[in-house]
Amino acid sequence: MTAVNLLDFDLDALAGWCAELGEKRFRAVQLFRWIHRKGEADFARMSDLAKSLRDKLTGRAVVQPLKVISEQVSTDGTIKWLFDVGGGDAVETVYIPESDRGTLCVSSQAGCAVGCRFCSTGHQGFSRNLSTGEIIAQLWFAEHQLRCRRVLPASERIISNVVMMGMGEPLQNYAALLPALRVMLDDHAYGLSRRRVTVSTSGVVPMIERLQADCPVALAVSLHAPDDALRDQLVPLNRKYPLAELLTACRSYLSVAPRDFITFEYCMLDGVNDSPDQARELIALVNGRSAALRLPCKFNLIPFNPFPASGLRCAPRDRVLAFAKLLQEAGIVTTIRKTRGDDIDAACGQLAGEVQDRTRVQARLTRPVIRIAALPPGAA
């Protein structure tokens, strides 16, 4: 009998599994709290759990952490962990401390099949989806490790925000993502606010609709281009779900979202998507033809973090500022993302872990990078 990993379960699933052992729901709640609130993996130490349940758990279940391959600490306090997920794959998780919050950037896949041109994870190709347990293990480890180091009272949490912005496209791993989100939000576990759990997606439209129905949390959409011709090249998924469909899904999501805006991420690439004309196109895209059609949104401009294989450069600072100014003047809240953890390659798009490419993404991406820089004016 292989033991089940209890990190794979949200509370309802754990209660269902405990019921099969003849245990009541309140026992499942106790167990869930030991695991997620106290960070306990050893059943023998779960002191107020009935001895009979502890005996049943032994051999049948485990709390399976991820193996840490390395930990790097940046001069700005950002911490990056590399976790071994077996089979030659490793994923990265980044903790970003700020004065008023602690954010954990979590991976959802080993690699990514979307293959965005400017993303080093995308350049590595795709190996596999992470399980719910592997997604939650990143939070479980970070929260409890850091808490031990800081000796905090049990009521205080280290991690107040989770962003699904590590390696992978979370909405292409929906079955594992959904229970993981439920564990993050559960008051018996991490008790995070829906507004502080963000799913970032390159635009998997049907799954945005599913998330809206199943578990609305804050949504960030990686836009990167104001028109389909350019977006098709930067974010290949756009060929399947073009901008018009994506924006319709965003609009619908807002009817239930915990925040009343969508965050658009826009990676600033020199000579590709950073011109004043493109800023104006972007404004027209989200503002529509009338105030009633305006899509409530914020823009987060991300200075491109270069890596050699991309063949791309970051837009110069003055162009990023000019781009931001145009959006702001059109009434769109726009921020320029601060780069964190640069010295340890923990910044956006630099998370590369180690993955066995089981797709042909790598081969595809090494070819046409140059075409992008040479796009006709108007398209770029």
Residues that are catalytic: 92, 348
Contact map string, positions 82 to 121, toward ligand SF4, x by CB under 6 A: ------------------------------x-xxx--x-x
Cα–Cα distance between 230 and 93 in angstroms, integer? 30
Q: Which is nearer to ligand SF4, 82 or 112 (CB)?
A: 112
Contact map string, positions 121 to 150, toward ligand SF4, x by CB under 6 A: xx----------------------------
The DSSP result for 309-343, as a single string, is GG---BPPHHHHHHHHHHHHHTT-EEEEPPP-SGG
Cα–Cα distance between 79 and 16 in angstroms, integer? 36
Q: Residue 354: beta bridge partners?
A: 90
Q: Which is nearer to ligand SF4, 11 or 230 (CB)?
A: 230
283 close to 326: Cβ distance less than 8 angstroms: yes
CB atoms within 10 A of CB 255: 8
Q: Which is nearer to ligand SF4, 115 or 341 (CB)?
A: 115
Q: 193 to 252, contacts with ligand SF4 by CB under 6 A? A: 202, 222
Least distance between ligand SAH and beta carbon 112 (Å): 6
Q: Which is nearer to ligand SAH, 43 or 266 (CB)?
A: 266
Q: How many residues bind ligand SF4 (CB under 6 A)?
A: 11
Side-chain half-sphere exposure of 131, counting CA atoms within 13 A? 15
SS3 156: coil
Which partner in ligand SAH, ligand SF4, none is near 115 (CB below 5 to 8 A by kind)? ligand SF4
Least distance between ligand SAH and beta carbon 266 (Å): 8
Query: What is the token pair recorded at 194?
Result: 């829906």
CB atoms within 10 A of CB 312: 20
Residues that bind ligand SF4 (CB under 6 A): 112, 114-116, 119, 121-122, 168-169, 202, 222
